[in-house]
Amino acid sequence: MTTKRREACPNLEANLEACNCSYEPCGRKGLCCQCVAYHRRAGQLPACFFTEAAEQTYDRSFDRFIQTWS
């Protein structure tokens, strides 16, 4: 974990412990405000809105969210 990422968010380590996202290369992991903004712009929801199985499909669409929880 870089110092720059730690400085970007005082909650980074706690956020990472709670993060269920399996997409390892993502630089937004643990930076929840950036994660939410990114997926909102794309018309999606972050990984933590999905079950483990649904999250691993990387389909973060509203349709998938509704399908998952219906």
Q: How far is the CB of 32 from ligand SF4 (least distance, A)?
A: 8
Q: How far is the CB of 70 from ligand SF4 (least distance, A)?
A: 21
What is the contact surface with ligand SF4 in residues (CB under 6 A)? 21, 23, 26, 28-29, 35, 38-39, 46-47
The first and second tokens of residue 30, run together, are 């643990």
Q: Is 44 helix (H, G, I), strand (E, B) or coil?
A: strand
Q: How far is the CB of 7 from ligand SF4 (least distance, A)?
A: 18
